[in-house]
Amino acid sequence: MKLSRTTPALLVLLLISPLTSAHKRWFMPTDFVLSEAETVTVDFTASNNIFFVDKGMPLAGVSVHSPAGTALPLLQPQEGARRSSFDIEVSEAGTHRVSFGGEPMYFVSYQMPGENEPRHDRGNLAGLKAAIPPEATEIAFAEAHSLIETFVTLGSETAPAAPADSAGLRLVLRDTHPNALYTDEPARFAFTLDGEPLPGLAVSVQPEGSRYRDTQELREYVTDAAGAVEISWPVVGRYLLEAGLEQELGEGEIRKRYYSYFLTLEVLAP
């Protein structure tokens, strides 16, 4: 299904994360901004506890691009139980992009005769299809796209190298730079879906330290007609930005498509 701004009725936008049981996933670099060339260690984990690592994420699918667009190697890679991590040599001036995308994840639900609850499974599409018993009915697939990013800058911030394509849900680096965030200045971030501005997208930010307080302190926004949100930062520290949407695709093989986007940011004192 091709989507554009002129077909908003085809979009069903949920206000919060569509994958209701999915964990938040994030990168956490040791530094967001450097004044001298340095090794930066990046943790990669799935955790709802911001920012304490919980479940290690696979490193296949992680890419790091220098400001000029060179793919940098992941040094000392380690896939641990609670976190995965790798080093990057940040020696080129400007903004580096760390991202994880890759193939979509598929979910299936189907009903088996004589069972009260439908069964659920997830994996790649071919594998899921092969595993469905022949007597199953009410088979429905869903497709989930994820993009997880963070940015690391040496010296002055620059526009990071553009990704290979504009497919899916993406942050547009046009207004506020993600490595120049301060509590006395609101940030403006714009989002696109397959390259088109995306109004009505639910975006939230959450400051670190959720373990030590009684509330999530989630700040929620919805993108305007230009697909942008203006975010103010109540406290200094690191934040997780999360955006997500869900599309109803009708009666085809794949009934729903989910997009989720996670961005780790650092906000400094004025």
Partner 1 sequence: MKKLIHPYQCLAKAMTVLPLAAGAADVTVELEIPAMQTAEYHRPYIAIWIEDARRQPLAQLALWLEQEKWHRDLRSWWRRGGRKLALPIDGVSGATRKPGSYTIQRAAALPPGDYTLNVEAVREVGGREHLRIPFHWSGQRLQDSAQGESELGQITFTLEPGELP
Q: Residues in the site for partner 1, rule: CB under 8 A?
A: 14-18, 20-21, 24, 48, 214-216
CB of 213 to partner 1, least distance (A): 8
CA distance 59 to 64: 11
Separation in Å, CA 164 to CA 18, 81, 168, 246: 26, 31, 12, 24
Our CB check for partner 1 shows the closer of 48 and 91 to be 48
Among residues 208, 207, 192, the alpha carbon closest in space to that of 245 is found at: 192
Query: Residue 266 is which amino acid?
Result: E
Query: Residue 50 is which amino acid?
Result: I
Q: Assign residue 227 a region: left if phi > 0, alpha if psi is -120 to 50, beta otherwise? A: left
CA distance 28 to 45: 8
CB of 269 to partner 1, least distance (A): 27
CB of 183 to partner 1, least distance (A): 24
Omega before 107 within 30 of 0, i.e. cis? no
CB of 23 to partner 1, least distance (A): 9
CB of 76 to partner 1, least distance (A): 28
Our CB check for partner 1 shows the closer of 177 and 219 to be 219
Our CB check for partner 1 shows the closer of 184 and 214 to be 214
CB of 194 to partner 1, least distance (A): 23
Our CB check for partner 1 shows the closer of 32 and 239 to be 239
Our CB check for partner 1 shows the closer of 20 and 137 to be 20
Our CB check for partner 1 shows the closer of 103 and 214 to be 214
Our CB check for partner 1 shows the closer of 39 and 49 to be 49
CA distance 100 to 270: 31
Pairing of strands 187-193, 228-231: antiparallel
CB of 260 to partner 1, least distance (A): 12
SS3 per-residue string spanning 23-66: CCEEEEECCCEECCCEEEEEEEEECCCCCCCCEECCCCCEEEEC
